[in-house]
Amino acid sequence: MSQSPGTRSPRALVGGAPVATYTMRFDGRELSAQAGQSIAAVLWGAGILAWRTTRETGAPRGAFCGIGSCYDCLVTVNGRPNQRACLVPARPGDTVTTQEGTGRADLAV
């Protein structure tokens, strides 16, 4: 059975099926996450593209490399700053907050 190009989706192309979802919180907002997603993937899926500000100018940052080589995607997860959102898996009940600058001086990167 062929599909028109406008009705194809990545899930349909690979034969995937929906997985169970759970919630996590970002800056007080409840977001839906799926098992195996990174925090960055959950934020992207919710349309959130920036979740950190730079030390010097307060410029917004989000994911840049997506593989953990840079530090643009830092967030605070369950009170622990300097976590790379592209590498940290989202877990049920996580509380993630925007990180301003280094998060805490003693954990500066």
Q: What is the mean pLDDT of residues 52-65?
A: 86
**What's the pLDDT band for 2 if we cut at 50, 70, 90?**
low
CATH number of the domain that 75 lies in? Answer: 3.10.20.440
**Residue 1 pLDDT greater than 50, yes or no:** no
Residue 5 is predicted with a pLDDT of 59
In a domain, 55, yes or no: yes
Residues 12-35 have pLDDT tens digits of 777 767 678 999 999 999 999 998
Residue 103 is predicted with a pLDDT of 62
Average pLDDT, the chain: 84
Residues in the chain: 109
Domain count, the chain: 1
Residue 6 is predicted with a pLDDT of 63
Burial label for 3, CB within 10 Å (0-12, 13-18, 19+), is exposed
Domain containing residue 49: 19-96
**What's the pLDDT band for 90 if we cut at 50, 70, 90?**
very high
Residues 95-108 have pLDDT tens digits of 999 988 766 545 44
Q: What is the DSSP string of 23-85?
A: EEEETTEEEEEETT-BHHHHHHHTT----EE-TTT--EE--SSSSSSSSTTEEEETTEEEEET
